[in-house]
Chains A and B, each alone.
Chain A
Amino acid sequence: MSIAAKFEIEYLQYLDAEGKQVRDDLPAFTKDLDHMVELYKLMMSTRVFDAKSVALQRTGKLGTYASCLGHEASHVGIGSAMKPEDVLAVSYREYGAQLYRGVQPREVYMYWGGDERGNDYQNEPARHDFAWSVPIATQCLHAAGTALAFKIRNEKRVAVCTIGDGGSSKGDFYGAINIAGAQNLPMVAVIVNNQWAISVPRKIQSGAPTLAQKGIAAGLYCIQVDGNDIIAVRKAMEDALERARNGEGGSVLELVTYRLSDHTTADDARRYRGEQEVKDAWAKEPMKRLRNWLVAKKVWDDAKEEAWKAECDEWMDNEVNAYLQTKTQPVTAMFDYTFAEVPADLAKQRDLALSLDKKAH
């Protein structure tokens, strides 16, 4: 028998669910304990932010909201590994990565609160990242196009896209990794496999034993990672980004995690998944293991935890207040960003909308 090609998928994990090291060769960045504390703090603030968002929705102050509970290691790992000049193309749940890149909680609230200005990220580097992309997996091709622009202009930058396990079923994802392989584009596609696409479980999405291996067919580097272990996520991301930056090609990362929340606030996950499964997933959630590891290193304790929690609460309260004080855009806003300049024909409708609005007040 002759073999035409042979493949294998590495699984990467450094910390188990309790925060015990499962291997000794920790990556270099873990030596910087201050930075590890920073990562933990951002994971925590992401969780506080998320709880605040859900509370806002439950009290009628936000529209539908997609929670990121349980994804903190995956998201912060992605965002913290990227360089400012890189570009991030997310779906609609990756707040931990976005907060790291400067998106403000008030901007998230504005978007889910029905105001396009939430997408007008004010802070760099998020300012040159893509906005939330609701049509599943379409953002993967935006990353591919951005990576192609980097290649054409000979810039040492990387485009990163994130999608879910469900999103990896779509043609847009396959198309993006395919052209990334064919053109050797500096692109990293990250599948955040949280096991559920609304009510449809991972096994219905694909017969492949890993989602990472989808990248093999595209000629990309592939790895499966414990998505609840931020050290593993960060290491896999750093490696993939470096390869892409050096012209060595794109990657597909599968971060195995779990959606501890409903799909969105409009969803009720009790309709389609059992309590035991969620309980088991909580036992593997990402915060505990990093906290235990930091406590063992004596750089974190209960007092610090409480103090930071209080700071997060204050931060989020400020953000919520800023959001709640935002005035609704004028009716003309829907006309003014349709084209660079309002065409004459559209200006007539703009005038009409404006006069109707004045009459109504």
Chain B
Amino acid sequence: MAQITLIEAVTQALAYEMAHDDSVVVLGEDVGVNGGVFRATQGLQEKFGPLRVLDTPLDETTIGGVTVGLAAAGMKPVAEAQFEGFIYPMMEQIACHAARMRNRTRGRLTVPAVWRAPWGGGIRAPEHHSEANEHLFTNIPGLRVVMPSSPARAYGLLLAAIRDPDPVMFFEPKRIYRQYKEEVPDDGEALPLDVCFVLRDGTDVTIVTWGAQVKEALEAADALAEEGISAEVIDVATLTPLDFDTIAESVQKTGRCVILHEAPKTAGFGAEIAARIAEECIYDLLAPVERVTGWDTHIPLFRLEMKYLPSAERVVEAAKRTLAAS
């Protein structure tokens, strides 16, 4: 079986679902002949034709609204925002229509659509190509916000997102698009959208993260292990609706929690998790919750961007602080 990268897993999931469900269509800028600027849709237009893999006019508002129309008319569109920083013109259609069509019509019309977007920094890209803004979507009711962190989870979660009867934001951490390969059977098996994944068991401290930062979280857990500290690593994967039970169970066990994310700290999704821990697990805590995040600044142009992105070292230090506190 072939070993594939995260982005190849995205392509594999799209191809599988398009081959098995005629209502699945892909649309966006450069998704056709060019196969997407990151090659996520490579080869799909050749296989499924220019109508099911549609190059749209260069207008994100159009992509956002046409996706709503396609889905309400019985298709399962997978729209691509070329970069997370270009998704803003689509947000009115996502927030005002996709996420509330079922509610508005008491279930008469629904929007089973997926919006994919290469997400986050760390690839030395120009301005507006490195945004981490998942928290702008996690506050929208009726929307699922999903972020894979490995080839296998990219494949399984994307299949689940396309099959889900409600709209899903699918943010792909582009920094780890080609970070490593793993075997991903093309078996059409979806992963659940209502659970967090415990990637590493531990007893002393819980590290909660998602997307590209799973890499730093696992590196930090390795470094902590060398010092005899056992860290549990949780990949949230589906931010909303949140599976808080898995996080709570871990925090109840370890008594310590470090939340790690790339987006700015203030009102980032880590704030929600910290608040939930405070509400539901405060008596289990042996130390204050730590947040390791991007700064409350715009992500800088690329000469400084690695000083913006949270490092494994910062996670190690934060974990040690929680241990020093108790």
Residues of B within 8 Å of A158, CB to CB, are none
Interface majority SS (helix, strand, loop, mixed), chain A? helix
Partner of B109, one of A130, A339, A344, A346: A130
The total of chain A residues at the interface (CB under 8 A) is: 45
Residues of B within 8 Å of A145, CB to CB, are 65-73, 77
Give Cα distance in the complex from A293 to B34, angstroms.
59
B290 part of interface (Cβ distance < 8 Å): no
Contact present for B61 and A175 (CB under 8 Å): yes
Q: Which chain A residue has the least Cβ–Cβ distance from B112?
A: A340
Find residues 158-186 in chain A having any chain B CB closer than 8 Å to their own CB. 159, 171-172, 175-176, 178-179, 182-183
Find residues 114-163 in chain A having any chain B CB closer than 8 Å to their own CB. 116-117, 119-121, 127, 130-131, 133, 135, 138, 140-152, 159
A275 part of interface (Cβ distance < 8 Å): no
**Contacts A116-B105, A340-B166: A171 and B69 contacting too (C-beta < 8 A)?**
no
Contact present for B107 and A337 (CB under 8 Å): yes
A343 part of interface (Cβ distance < 8 Å): yes
Give Cα distance in the complex from A313 to B230, angstroms.
77
The listed residue with most B CB atoms (<10 A of its CB), out of A152, A171, A183, is A152
B201 part of interface (Cβ distance < 8 Å): no
Contact present for A146 and B108 (CB under 8 Å): no
**Contacts A152-B75, A340-B102, A343-B241: A141 and B109 contacting too (C-beta < 8 A)?**
no
Residues of A within 8 Å of B154, CB to CB, are none
A212-254 near B? 1/0 per residue, CB < 8 Å: 0000000000000000000000000000000000000000000
- A346 CB to closest chain B CB (Å) equals 6
Contact present for B70 and A178 (CB under 8 Å): no
Contact present for A120 and B106 (CB under 8 Å): yes
Q: Which chain B residue has the least Cβ–Cβ distance from A89?
A: B69
B103 part of interface (Cβ distance < 8 Å): yes
Contact present for B142 and A338 (CB under 8 Å): yes
Partner of A172, one of B51, B61, B244: B61
Residues of A within 8 Å of B108, CB to CB, are 119-121, 127, 131
**Contacts A146-B69, A344-B241: A171 and B59 contacting too (C-beta < 8 A)?**
yes
Give Cα distance in the complex from A146 to B69, angstroms.
5
A345 part of interface (Cβ distance < 8 Å): yes
> Mind listing 9 A-B residue pairs with CB under 8 Å?
A116-B105, A120-B106, A142-B68, A146-B69, A148-B69, A159-B69, A175-B59, A337-B107, A344-B245
Q: Which residues of A contact B (CB under 8 A)?
A: 87, 89, 116-117, 119-121, 127, 130-131, 133, 135, 138, 140-152, 159, 171-172, 175-176, 178-179, 182-183, 333-334, 337-340, 343-346
Q: Which residues of B contact A (CB under 8 A)?
A: 25, 51-52, 54, 56-57, 59, 61-62, 64-75, 77, 89, 92-93, 96-97, 101-110, 141-142, 165-166, 194, 241-245
Q: A116-B103, A119-B106, A146-B73 are in contact. List 10 more A-B contacts (CB 8 A).
A: A87-B73, A116-B106, A120-B105, A131-B109, A135-B97, A142-B68, A144-B65, A147-B69, A176-B62, A179-B66
> Which 6 A-B pairs rank lowest in CB-CB distance, beginning with the nearest?
A145-B69, A141-B65, A343-B241, A175-B62, A149-B73, A145-B66
